[in-house]
Structure formats: structure tokens, C-alpha cells
Structure 1
């Protein structure tokens, strides 16, 4: 009996000791950042004490601090019931927002305002409300892009942050892990490499990074490779060894002749206690972008830019400012050659947790931030964009529902339907005017095509049929100029607007439309008079009427098309007034016409005004008004051709 009583006593003491050790162990795990272990330990306590506020608080915070705030909801709800503090209500709002419950999240944020008078807390809570409101009007930045899970590449663990360098894909993965990361219970990650060409990845020959050996018992992640392929920078951290660095830091390996060096801690980290990660090079390799929680930022994690120093290191890190950075977290920067800056954030208006954004110049020249939209982002984390062919295709990472497990790699392609092509084939025929006969073919005339900006689009000589063919854009304006020695050069406007079918109505990928137009050239003969039709003046007046201006504009165009000619512009009257009166009237009318032409930009020294009165009647002894009109005419003739 004594022996039996002894073992009962021992078991009772051991049981009481175990209860105490679970609480102490859970506290130690939480304080050391081993959040998944802490969740497991505190959950054992909650099984027996579901209202234990300390345990609920620790589990909620463990989920939040390990980037799983959506799972913290039930625990924050319990805390709000018992202790409705600002922190508890605000963080419940964060959890509801991550669960894609915008109405409930806004209600929680509004409620949180009632538990504080701190202006910073109030401003942040209002920002969360406004972010939810703004997220309702987000448009897709790449509206016709399709995102697909790269199922053959992904595993049940984490696979993320791919980059392409020299026909190899480098990425982070939890496959072949040698330990568990205690913060979230996932396998430690390593760096891997496989061959890739564009979006085509050799998923059958994935190997651990050959440039240097992955370390065991810590996370290696988020690799960046310089444009010349000679520098590798990546994030290394989360070791449980007390002898290791206390925080995640950037490490670099350099190619030196025979191979890459062993990774070394980068000076740009500055302090061993600061978290630094998600590096990316600028397109020219002269700048390094990265995320850090160093002091002086605008929120939890901010994005920074460091410049390349003379010794090859990066330094003088500068915060990218409050336009990009928020009180939330910004990570995974990516600068493109056209100056656009892509990144992930949970602080800008979005769909849940981390979303993909782009910073670009707006119409007013100022930088604007745009969410990439619903075809790229989800209620979960979406991050790590990399373009294999900017901007048409590339990769992102996401832990959204429907994936293989944890973070997955997705590829995207531009699926914008190819526009149906309409080619306008324009036949320009050149002809010459022959008095009293039909217009005749004019071969070997020079025909030149200009676009609406007056840039030459093409030119050729007309063939034996008087034809030149051009290929024109639809819905565009052009000018065609034809010229040949001994003829007046001539320009005509030509438009394809309204002359082609709507591309949406076409069935074939390419449709050719053939159109014709004709340019008739007049012979250029010195001292040969050419009548300007429909030049009328009011009785006994020399003012240019609007209808006469229309006709004179045709002569203006002739002078512009033929800059080497000088003309005499003459006016003639009928014989129904005195010779002296008619002479004066015709001279005034001729001068008035010349003055008008000069007002349209033609040099005065190319024009001579001449009034002939009734001295050159075409019909002598005219009796009808029609005959008088024939005599009452305006003419021009070329009097000089300048070489």
C-alpha cells in the first residue's frame, strides 16, 4: 500500500508541475518569437480554460505577428467581449478586413475610435476605414492579363519570389527542409535553381542553389541577382541558435573568377537588430531596393533605396517616402526600365492582406499609387512580382485559396485579343489635263505621301499606267503631292476615316481594303493664261467676297505646291463703261486679289497685279450677260520659273 501511495503522490506532483510548465513554456515561446509553438501550447490551456484572457491574447497576437491575422478573429472577439480596449477592437477590425468582411471591419474600426483619444491611433483607424471604401472602386491595371498557378512547380510547402537570370529561375522553397520554423510552424526555406526560358520552367531538374551552399536551421529567401549576374543578394535569418544574428539580414555573394564567394553580411543592414529583406536591383544594377523595419520609417516595414558605392557595396539607404510607404508594411520592390515601381503592401487600399501595387507618374507629373486589381490580387498575400518579358508576362507569389499549400508561384500572361488588322491599299493615279480631250495617263510623275505630322510615309514614280500604290493606316489623315517637270505640282488631302469596316465586325485576322484616287496635273507653260473660275466682285467694287476667297485659296495652294514660280494675276472687265474707268477698276481688283493671296502666306515678290480693263476682250461686241461674264474674268499666268 505504501508503495502504491508513493506512485500516486508522484503522479499528482508531476501533473501539477506539468500544468505550470505549459504556461511557462508558452510564455517563453511567445516572448522568443516561436509563435506556432506558442499557439500550440496556449491552445492546450484554452481547452480547459476557454475564457483565459491571457491565453486568448497570446494566441491572437501569435497569429497576427506570424502574418495570419485572419485566423486571430475568434480570439480577438473573446477579448473584445471581456476587455474592449482600443488595441483589441482595432486588431479585431484588422482580422475581419483580412477575412474579406468589409462591413464588419469598418464597424470594428468605428467602434475602436471610442476607446482612444490618441491622434495617431485615430488617424490610423480612419485610414483603415478609407482604405476599405477605396478598395471598392479598384480597376484592373492589366485588364486582360490571366494569372495561373504553376502547379508543376509548386509543393505543399512554401514556394515563392522567383527571379530569372541568364536562362535560370531562382526561387525560395520549403522543399527538402531540414527543420521547422517555430514562428509559423512551416519548414525552413532554401534557395533553388532550375532552367527557364520565359514562362517555360524545367520543373523536372530543380536543384539547390549551386553557387553556394544553403545553410541548415534557418530561412534563406527572397533572392536578387544583379543584371550582370555577378552579385547575389538574399535574406537570411530566423535561426534559433543564440550564437547567430538576432534578426533577418541581407547577405551577398560575389562571382570571383572561379566561382561565387561565401555569403557575407552586407553593410547596408547597418544594425544587427534591424530586419532587412526582399532585395531587388534596379535595371542598371546601380541601386538596391529592399524592405526594412529600421527606425525613422512610416510604419511596420518600409521600402528603402541604397546606391552603389565605389567599392561595390551599397550604402546611403534612403526611405522611399510616405507616398510609397504607409503605417502598414511594404515589401518586395521591383523597379522596371520605364521608371515604374512595383511593390507589395498591406497599407494601401486593397483586397485583404498584401496586395501588388505600382507607383507611376500621373498626368500632372506627380507619382500615383495604383492597385493592380482583382485579376492579380486576392484576400490573401500577393507579392513578389517579376517580369520575364516586361510587361507582357512574368510571375507573382500568393498564398490565396486554391493553391498547392502555402505560398505558391503563379505565372501571368497578357491575353489581350490581337487586334484585327485592316490594311488600306491606296492606288494613286496620275493624269494630265489635255484641252478639249479626256484626261490622259501621266507616267513617271513623282508621288509622295505625308502623314498628318507632315512626315514622309512613302514615295515613288507612277508606272506606265500612271499608278503608284501605298499602304495606309485606317482612320488617319494624309497629304499626297504629285509633281513632274513641265507640270504644276499638286497636293491633295486624303483620309481613310470612314472608309474601312469596324475591326470588331471583321472575321479574318487581316483584311485588305483597296481604294483609288486620282491627281490631275496641268501643264506649266510660261505666259499661258489660266482663267480662275467663279471670281466675282460686287458691282463697281474691288473687295474680295467670301465666294471669291474660296477660289483664290486654290491659287494659294498652287503657289505653295510650286514654290519656284512667279505669276501675274490679271483682272479683266467687260466694255460697258469707259476705258479709263474699266482700267482703274480692273487694276484695283487685281491688286485686291494679290493682297489676299499675300495675307495667306505667299511672298509678295512672287506676285504681280495687272489690270487690263477691256483691252483683252474674249468676245468682241458682246450683247448677252453671259458674253459679258466671259469677258469679265480673273486670270493668272506663270511669268517666271526660278531655278
Structure 2
């Protein structure tokens, strides 16, 4: 799969080939390597175990590992890219990932199935982006699951031991595809960047069961000594648009950095041979155009490009093809399709269904195949076509016959690119445009956030469509389609509240802040475990707490008792108007005055624990009672067992709702 084509071979192998013997030589070589890297956009990899070599030699430059990660990423080796990016985090030096590297790191994590970790990296990236953020949640995975298993796939017979990809429909029951199988060529005619033969265009026959057989190289001038790929044929079969290295008339073009970019050329069929290769006015030495597709009427060309003004690494553009064969001005297809990543390999069926590959839309890692469904406002709803077409590797070059529901796509899930036949078993599931409704709920009196509020969502027919709870920060988010809704807020000890919400087409996210008022008649609350708490009762009993233990004759709360106190903390945070009075008691053993002071210190220590956990001081009181409130016969002078004394060694937590 071509992204860019370079005239020279470079760079990180400096480090492996020369080795390092001191910090001076290490820094010198790293600086030289980084300079070469920066000049060439990304490095060539000649060794799959380069990462392991660097680790073995104990390299500690995050910049080198980050750029090594980039090199692996651009080679589609996400496994090794992830190793390299992860090493940057392990070194914990002053290196900061660029925005592009954060994006690549997140994609490498996705490719490994580590979606939650990828989400954290994307969140970090979004905080730095000046442009619109990318999806940082993992909710889209359920949408992908919904669209999955709609296709059957199978490797085609025409695949070789070299990379094969990029099928295009040709004559009846024929395709043209891209391959590097021309293994008998001399070194001079191999790509210095990959070490493999240059890509050529081949034709193959489609069998009745959708396989590809009998591959043959296309005759004529369409195949040059350099790269060519991804053609599209006009409806009359007389012209072909295709991707090629910047090479025409035995002249190899390059930009100011000696980089050979990609161009789209047009060939004409003459005596059953592709001839008369034409350059297009949309091309330029300083940027790439690649992977053309045609609208069904043949009046415009869609292609991938990294030209100035692109939103990401490559965007999709559309350009008018005029009746005389000349071209209008290319137009970016917009932010509903293009992202900060790669959008590429467009394809449009004869019935107008639009597919493309992207690593910036919400996917499984690497390039995924997406369907773009045009809305009435001329924007697109983007749908991941799901597994098994998509995987954690690069999946791209999707083409399908809208009549037979059979087609092909390409993937490097087996290391090199290979072509798969595909059969659609059922169409894309119904797409429901949903709007996110997000909110935070507060206590009306204190302004504190209210966790564990039950929210019920009813539609206009009073049918319950969703039910959920606020989190510990009192926040929630829910997605709902267009329509009218009633949000009902319920929390024990509070008056019911509701909101009426209308979600209209074109709405962005809806934000709601809500304040709930304490129910003045409430005599009972409920904790998150369903325990009933009565006003004026001891929380030790109502919350089923275990005894609170301190060090012998000390005030340090034992760790196992901290877990019990945390249950009280959670209750107080759930009900911000409630207060607690801490009452510390001892048994009658020992001096009365000592016991009183010990209990006072323990009461204060418990109060301090609550304050450290975020409970305000005006909600917590405490007092030590010593041995003044013995619960049984075990007063001074009465012989009792330790078990009987233990009943008197206690802490009480008397709650007040303060709801009047």
C-alpha cells in the first residue's frame, strides 16, 4: 500500500550499525539520525527487531523511540509501533509526544485491542487540539458490533507471496489490481525504501463464486519502471485513472526534499492496450494525489491527497471533470468525512454507495472501511462496516457490486497486504442519529454534587426508554435520538424533579444543570446498598458497620476500620445536607479521667478523618464520653469478661437529615 515514495533509504539503522560506546558518541549519532529523519518525514525499517536491538543496547532517548514508533506505524506494523511508543512513557524523561504521535499511539493501542487506554491518549490529544476533537469514548464499539457479521470473506487465489491490494472493476468478470509480485527484476528496479519490487497493475478473472484467478500483468505503457496502483475505469471502459510515482516521459519528479510524491494519471485504451498516459492539472510536485474513484455519472473524481489545507495526514477531495476532459478546482469533502488522520481509498458503487478507509474515524485500529451516508443537509453519517471486513490491522480498498453484493477488499492482517473476496449477507443496519444529553445534579441548599441520583427518561408516549444513575461527581451522559423526552430525577430524601427536552435534527450536545430540593418530610434515606437510614439513628447500625478499632491506648484508626468509615463518608456525600455527630465511648477498665481524654482524642481523630475525605467541618461534630454511658452491668468494681467490656468500647455516628 503506497502512502509516500522516497528516493533514498534512511535512518535509524545508524544506531544499530555503529553501536554506542559513550554518551558523546550516543548523542552525536542520535542527533544525526534525528536530523535525517526530520528531513525525510519518516524512516526506513530494514529490521523487524530494531526495537529489541535498541532495548538490548540500553538506548534511553525518548525522541528516538518516538520516531521509531512513527517508522513502524507508517509501515503498518502497529505491534512494534506500540512497543516503541510505550517505551517513551517508561523512560519518563522530558520528551513530549507531538499531537500526531499521540494520535498514532492511540491507534496502535486500538490495534492491540486496548481501547480504554487508547481513549485516555485521545483525551490527552483532544486537550491540545486547536481543531475539532476526535471521539475519545469507547461507545462506538457497540455500534461496530451492531454492524458486524454482515459479510463473509475469503482470501482470493490470485494473491502472491508479495503484497497485493487495490482491486478495481474492469471488463465483465474482470478486475485490475496492484501487486509487487514481479520478483525477477534487478535491484535497480526495486524500491530502495521497502526493498521490494515496484508495484505494477495486473488483471484477473472473477469466478462465479467471487474468487480471483489467472492474474496477468497489464500490457502497454500504464506500467512504468516505478510504482503504479489503484485504478478506476470510466463507464465506457475507454479511460483509466490510476496512481503512479511522479514519473512520465522517462522523467522522475520530486519536491524540494528529493521526495517522489504520488500523482494521478489518465490512460486511454488503444487497440485493447492502455496507452496515451496523461498528467492531470490537479497534480503538483510538492504533494501527493492518489487512489482515484469516479462518481456513477463520471462527472467528478474523488481522490486522497495531502495537499495544503488538508485537515489531517491525507484527506478526500472531489474535483469536477469537465466535458472536454479538463478539471475544475479540487474541493475538500469536509469534516464529516475527513479527520486529523488518514482518509483514503474511496469507492462509489454504480448506485451511489460511498465507501472509504480511515484511521481517524472511530475504528478498531489502523485503517478501517467506512460507509458514508449522505444526509439531506449534504453532510455525511459515517458508519464503520464492522467485522470481519475490519480488524485491528489496515483494512482498505473496499469495492462491491451493488447488484450481486459481491466484491473485494484488502488487508495486511496477515502481515503483507492481501486481497479478500467479500459477500454482503445483509445491508447496513438502520442508522439512528443520536444526540448526547449531559448534565450534573446539585443539592439546592448546599450546591454540592449529588451522586447516585436515579434518572428515568420517557418518550412522548410516556414509555420508559432509559434508566441510569449519576456518578460520584453527580454527572451523567446519555444518547437519545430526535424526539420529545421527559427526564425524571429521583433520589431518596429529595423531592421529585423533571425536565422536558426536545431533541431536534442538527442539535449539538445538550447540557443540563439541575438542582434538587431536600424533602422536608423525609424520615428515611437509603444508601447505595439499599440500607435504610433513619433520621437520628446511629449509622453503625443502619449501615451495618463493623466496630471501629484504634491502636491499643492510641488514636490511630486501624486500616480495616477506615473501610467502615469510608461507608459513612460516601453516605454523607450522597446526602449533602445530612450531618453526623461522632460519639466515642470506652469501657470502665482503667482510670476514669484517662478514659475520658482517650475517647475525646479518638472522637477528634475520627472527625479529622472525615475532613480529610472532603466532608466540610460544619457537617461533623464529635465528643468523647469515656465510660459515662456504659450499656451493660460492667461499671467500675463489677467483674466482667472481655466480651462484655467490648460492648462498651464503641463509636456511634448519629445522623441528622437537616431537611426542615
Provide structure 2 residue ranges, at least 5 long, that are not aligned to the other structure: 1-17, 255-259, 428-660
Cα distance 1:375–1:76, how it changes in 2: closer, same or farther (>3 A)? closer
- Are the structure 2 counterparts of residues 174 and 140 from structure 1 closer, same or farther at C-alpha, using a change threshold of 3 Å? farther
Question: Counterpart of 2:393?
Answer: 380
Structure-1 separation of matches of 2:377 and 2:368: 25
Quickly say closer, same or farther: Cα 1:165–1:274, change in 2 above 3 A. Answer: same
SS of 2:223's partner is coil
Q: Out of 54, 57, 65, which is 1:56 matched to?
A: 65
- Select which of 41, 51, 71 maps to 2:80: 71
Find the counterpart in structure 2 of residue 251 from structure 1.
Answer: 265
Q: Which residue of 2 aligns with 1:206?
A: 215
CA distance in 2, matches of 1:135, 1:41: 32
Aligned partner of residue 172 in structure 1, secondary structure: strand
Tell me whether 1:319 sits opposite 2:332 in the alignment: yes
Once the two structures are superposed, the pairs formed by residues 118-517 of structure 1 within 5 Å of their partners are: 118-120=128-130, 123-124=132-133, 127-130=134-137, 132-141=138-147, 143-150=149-156, 152-167=157-172, 168-177=174-183, 178=185, 179-184=189-194, 186-197=196-207, 199-201=209-211, 203=213, 205-212=214-221, 214-216=223-225, 218-237=226-245, 243-245=252-254, 246-256=260-270, 259-269=273-283, 271-361=284-374, 367-388=380-401, 390=403, 392-400=405-413, 403=414, 405-415=415-425
In structure 1, what is the Cα distance between the partners aligned to 2:320 and 2:144? 34
Deviations 1:215-273 (A, max 9, x none): 22x3211111111111111111288x99533311111111346743242321122x211
Would you say the 8 A contact 1:165–1:225 is kept in 2?
A: yes
> CA–CA distance in 2 between the matches of 1:385 and 1:52?
40
* Counterparts in 2 of 1:142 and 1:91: CA distance versus 1, 3 Å: closer
Partners of 2:384 and 2:142 lie apart in 1 by 11
Structure 2 residue matching 1:263: 3-state secondary structure: strand
- Report SS of the residue matched to 1:100: coil
| 1:499 match | none
Q: Distance in 1 between matches of 2:280 and 2:326?
A: 8
Instruction: Please state how far the C-alpha of 1:52 moved relative to its aligned partner.
Output: 3.3
- Describe the superposition over 1:502-538 as per-residue Cα deviations: whole angstroms up to 9, x where unpaired: xxxxxxxxxxxxxxxxxxxxxxxxxxxxxxxxxxxxx
Distance in 1, matches of 2:305 and 2:370, equals: 18
Q: CA deviation at 1:416?
A: 6.1
For residues 262-310 of structure 1, give each alpha carbon's deviation from its aligned partner in whole angstroms, at most 9, with x where no partner exists: 42321122x2111110111222222211111111222221111111123
1:182 to partner: Cα distance: 4.4
Give, in whole Å, the separation in 1 of the partners of 2:103 and 2:343. Answer: 20
Cα pair 2:210 2:407 within 8 Å, conserved:
no
CA 1:396–1:171 in structure 2 vs 1: closer, same or farther (change >3 Å)? Answer: same
SS of the counterpart of 1:411?
A: strand
Residues 249, 372 of structure 1: alpha-carbon distance in 2 compared, 3 angstrom cutoff: same
Check conservation: 2:107, 2:359, Cα contact below 8 A.
Answer: no
Tell me if structure 1 keeps the 8 A contact 2:62–2:95: no
| 2:220–2:274 Cα contact (<8 Å) kept | yes
Give the CA deviation at 1:314: 3.2
Shift of 1:336: 2.3
Deviations 1:576-600 (A, max 9, x none): xxxxxxxxxxxxxxxxxxxxxxxxx
Cα distance in 2 for partners of 1:252, 1:83 equals: 50
CA distance in 1, matches of 2:113, 2:203: 35
- 1:467-488 Cα distance to aligned partner (Å, 9 max, x none): xxxxxxxxxxxxxxxxxxxxxx
Deviation at 1:372, TM superposition (A): 0.8
Deviation at 1:365, TM superposition (A): 8.4
Distance in 2, Cα, partners of 1:237 & 1:109? 34
Alpha-carbon deviations, 1:59-86, whole Å to 9, x = none? 1221233343442122222222223524
- Cα 1:166–1:286 shift into 2, 3 Å: same
Distance 1:336 1:278, change over 3 A: same
Is this contact kept in 1: 2:158–2:215, CA < 8 A? no
CA 1:344–1:258: 2 relative to 1, 3 Å:
closer
Distance 1:142 1:18 in 2: 53
| Match for residue 35 of structure 1 among 30, 37, 43 | 43
Retained in 1: the 8 A contact 2:336–2:379?
Answer: no
Cα 1:408–1:138 change in 2 (3 A) is same
> Relative to 1, partners in 2 of residues 1:45 and 1:368: Cα closer, same or farther, differing over 3 Å?
closer
> Relative to 1, partners in 2 of residues 1:101 and 1:186: Cα closer, same or farther, differing over 3 Å?
farther
1:82 maps to 2:93: yes
Aligned mates of 1:62, 1:73 — CA distance in 2: 11
Q: 1:89 to 1:265 in 2, by over 3 A?
A: closer
Q: Distance in 1 between matches of 2:55 and 2:34?
A: 12
Q: Which of the pair has more CA radius of gyration?
A: 1
Q: Which string of whole-angstrom CA distances, capped at 9 and with x for unpartnered residues, describes residues 401-456 of structure 1?
A: xx3x4111111124469xxxxxxxxxxxxxxxxxxxxxxxxxxxxxxxxxxxxxxx
Cα RMSD between the aligned structures?
3.7
Q: Is the 8 A contact 1:189 1:219 kept in 2?
A: yes
- How many residues get paired? 391
Deviation at 1:147, TM superposition (A): 1.4
